[in-house]
Structure 1
């Protein structure tokens, strides 16, 4: 298959294909940078525009916009601290502090190289180890899906809480409860709608992301007009930190494996890959306490993982017809539109199709390398704008991004409501990111848990008899065990109360 992959790289290098590649990557980067315009939306919109194109050209455009839109949220995460999507939220934790130190350009350039490496890692996995990853994905049941969702919320809460991990876990539980709003998917009755038909469809993720990340930043700037730390003024050079990349080579390799493995699990996606990679990187770092203050490894690892997850998420799409992420689900629909039937028979019906997709990922990685660095110089100009100009623009994009999702005014109301709520939470020391992650994973956790229990007639036996479930439980226990500071604080507080 590697020989076919190399031949496809050469065959795809036509002027028309490369022109479509560059244009689609540019569109993907624009969608990824602007808050609310996600990779899923970019792939969906472009899929409708490629209906009249041949399969090769259409797929080249869709793959390129997919890769560009997954990479680009790092720009807004680093420069503004406002991720364009959930997949870029992990990058904002250390990327934004780096930008405030005057290293925003270097952080963007380094994240670009990491994203290229991650994309190449994903395509190599697509060519080489897709049968193995597919067999692993086939063994994942509802029990494992629930544990994966629980693991994602717990690690996110542990990482983002400014003082006590329990605050992050509480924020994650709030996100899980918000995800329960709407029509219950198994039995079809309404939950927590309070008679409001607008809530029957549930809470959309885009207004939550925009309200949770954009509005609190706007409120803080409006409250403190002279708060200079919220507006980065020094950019620095746009050269990657090659030394940090070389020192993080083993971490990059680890993040690549994590990204591919998590991306191949149906329904999980790039955001969990980024958070899992960030969590592992912090635990293995020589100075874990520096994460959150501007550690470049906090940018390199999640950016490698979320782009590696692209190749991982495409694996079950092509071989099983099961999407690994929301954007991959739209890709699956686009393939059906163009007469491609993904599944076990795909390699027999189209022998060169998987190597061809891998070759498209290769060209897309080169495209984000060139366009990402070139557009970074344009992106950083946003930082030169005064807050009186920048914040209204951010607010306008947040409103447009929320309204564009179904052209629904209710989404704007929800965005403002979440923005105010998250602002108050952050003032009390509760992080916003676990709320978003809890909302993203809430539906999967809810449905998977009940399906698992229904299949076992209410028994918890699958949780401790299935090997993959045991591995996930072990990961959860290990992750929680690292929160020793929290345990010590609880025990010391209990001892003081007992002594008093």
Structure 2
């Protein structure tokens, strides 16, 4: 009761200051823009904003940074739904069902769904941050290099299992291809050049922004501009969607509560994954989507515009924000890339996250919770208003809109680091991705493999260095054994003979 009273006091102090409200609403709006525009990620947004908050007090700086962080994770789903180009890697799973909903004239409703799901997911993440932070942090602390490698491998395999139209094998092949692309450049342990072909530009590897935009942006531009019949049908569906006006957004906002079971489950998954250092929102979205698909009575409808899949993915990646704050505040270890930038911002403002934080700043956890609650509220209000406006984009003919998307793809690739080489990576990679899509190979596992590749590579090699090349210590760690068993079961479940036996047994019982 005393803690609730302290929380109420802190929240009132923040709300009673109009400047704080202005800062969090503007930051949230800016974050949604960063998430929605390809190439402008939450990590980049927090990094750029950190330099501008140097003269602010800690509370005001955190209002701005967390407002942008929460808004950017939510905003990444806008282009996923509208044009099938995830604004951030965390929104990749949301595109699987969000874009088909938009194609059949339910784009405005989908935007309303993600607005409520994102707000509820973030709020549940806050509750977990306050009540179970010590417990989850202690579990996350048990992870060593072997567990990080297995977790990365699990993320790659599960994304391939879910998105492979021609079977899981195609998805796994793409995931392994992404894993290979992640090894290009000098390795971080011994600084040895790998697959660089004596090209200095490849020493630092392939930029994730260039790969992400090439994989999702260029194929979509080529496909839409080359298929006039599809453009016409999309424009017609968009017009039908707008006939209902802004009411469709509010219908979606309210309908999210219809899937409250999926929302709560996905939020818990997001918090748990967010609490594991270095994993991030993208895996949370995929794992939650997998859980929703496996638990659904109609799994065949996933990927074709199923609202359950969209809500599950979007809730998890937003709940992951609260989860990522748990190891950040209690251990000083960021749970995701944006949280890593937030760690630097906290240190810049004289706050040292870690085990001694509660001693040095007893009320800081409550203050963070109050600030994130305001950021969630600002995201919900801004999202509801913006969803009404953004829905109008559905009426714009794709032939007019896609050239602008192509320009944004080029600018987004060049923006991070002002490196022209990123454009040289993005364009051929986009053409390759288009060819692979035409051959029915899924692109999402490739991107996930590329994102998780460094963690898998570094973790496995570090573990083998410690154990002098032996894999036996892996079997001596309970958490590693659990993860390994999950991977083995998942792989075996895709073997046709075993799969048929399982289904036959299921029918008997």
TM-score normalised according to structure 1 size: 0.95
1:12 and 2:18 matched: no
2:209 — aligned with what? Answer: 206
Which among 448, 473, 479 is matched to residue 484 of structure 2?
473
1:276 — aligned with what? Answer: 287
1:438 — aligned with what? Answer: 449
1:420 and 2:426 matched: no
Instruction: Look up the SS of the partner of 2:87 in the other structure.
Output: coil
2:414 — aligned with what? Answer: 403
Query: Alpha-carbon deviation of 1:125?
Result: 1.0
CA gap of 1:173–1:2, structure 2 versus 1, over 3 A, is farther
> How far apart, in 2, do the equivalents of 1:382 and 1:352 lie?
44
Query: Alpha-carbon deviation of 1:40?
Result: 0.5
> How far apart, in 1, do the equivalents of 2:322 and 2:89 lie?
18
1:29 — aligned with what? Answer: 32
> How far apart, in 2, do the equivalents of 1:421 and 1:201 lie?
21
2:154 — aligned with what? Answer: 151
CA gap of 1:242–1:188, structure 2 versus 1, over 3 A, is closer
2:245 — aligned with what? Answer: none
> How far apart, in 2, do the equivalents of 1:261 and 1:3 lie?
28
Contact 1:151 1:476 in 2 (8 A): yes
> How far apart, in 1, do the equivalents of 2:444 and 2:64 lie?
31
Which among 258, 275, 296 is matched to residue 285 of structure 1?
296
2:503 — aligned with what? Answer: none
Contact 2:111 2:252 in 1 (8 A): no
> How far apart, in 2, do the equivalents of 1:419 and 1:4 lie?
52
> How far apart, in 2, do the equivalents of 1:487 and 1:164 lie?
15
Which among 27, 37, 42 is matched to residue 39 of structure 1?
42
Gaps of 5+ in 2: 243-247, 501-509
Gaps of 5+ in 1: 490-500
Paired residues for 1:31-110 under 5 Å: 31-110=34-113
1:187 — aligned with what? Answer: 190
Contact 1:221 1:230 in 2 (8 A): no
1:358 — aligned with what? Answer: 369
Query: Alpha-carbon deviation of 1:247?
Result: 4.3
Paired residues for 1:118-129 under 5 Å: 118-129=121-132
Deviates more, 1:238-247 or 1:163-172: 238-247
1:429 and 2:432 matched: no
Which among 121, 125, 131 is matched to residue 134 of structure 2?
131
> How far apart, in 1, do the equivalents of 2:496 and 2:380 lie?
41
1:306 and 2:317 matched: yes
CA gap of 1:40–1:195, structure 2 versus 1, over 3 A, is same
1:260 and 2:271 matched: yes
Query: Alpha-carbon deviation of 1:472?
Result: 1.0
CA gap of 1:351–1:444, structure 2 versus 1, over 3 A, is same
Instruction: Look up the SS of the partner of 1:102 in the other structure.
Output: coil
Which among 460, 471, 474 is matched to residue 449 of structure 1?
460
Query: Alpha-carbon deviation of 1:485?
Result: 5.1
Contact 1:262 1:309 in 2 (8 A): yes
Which among 328, 352, 360 is matched to residue 339 of structure 2?
328
Query: Alpha-carbon deviation of 1:481?
Result: 4.2
Q: Deviations over 1:77-120 (max 9, x none)?
A: 11111110110000000000011111111111011101001111
> How far apart, in 2, do the equivalents of 1:223 and 1:485 lie?
37
TM-score normalised according to structure 2 size: 0.93
Q: Deviations over 1:20-55 (max 9, x none)?
A: 010000000111111111100111111111111111
Q: Deviations over 1:127-161 (max 9, x none)?
A: 11110011011100000000000000001001111
Instruction: Look up the SS of the partner of 2:20 in the other structure.
Output: helix
1:498 — aligned with what? Answer: none
Query: Alpha-carbon deviation of 1:12?
Result: 1.1
CA gap of 1:298–1:485, structure 2 versus 1, over 3 A, is farther
Query: Alpha-carbon deviation of 1:242?
Result: 6.6
Instruction: Look up the SS of the partner of 2:228 in the other structure.
Output: coil
Q: Deviations over 1:315-334 (max 9, x none)?
A: 11111111111100000000
Instruction: Look up the SS of the partner of 2:250 in the other structure.
Output: coil
> How far apart, in 2, do the equivalents of 1:486 and 1:409 lie?
50
> How far apart, in 1, do the equivalents of 2:256 and 2:384 lie?
16
Deviates more, 1:224-233 or 1:57-66: 224-233
Instruction: Look up the SS of the partner of 1:12 in the other structure.
Output: helix
1:497 — aligned with what? Answer: none
> How far apart, in 2, do the equivalents of 1:69 and 1:200 lie?
30
Between the two proteins, the alignment pairs up a number of residues equal to: 490
> How far apart, in 2, do the equivalents of 1:209 and 1:469 lie?
30
> How far apart, in 1, do the equivalents of 2:313 and 2:220 lie?
23
Query: Alpha-carbon deviation of 1:388?
Result: 2.4
2:504 — aligned with what? Answer: none
2:472 — aligned with what? Answer: 461
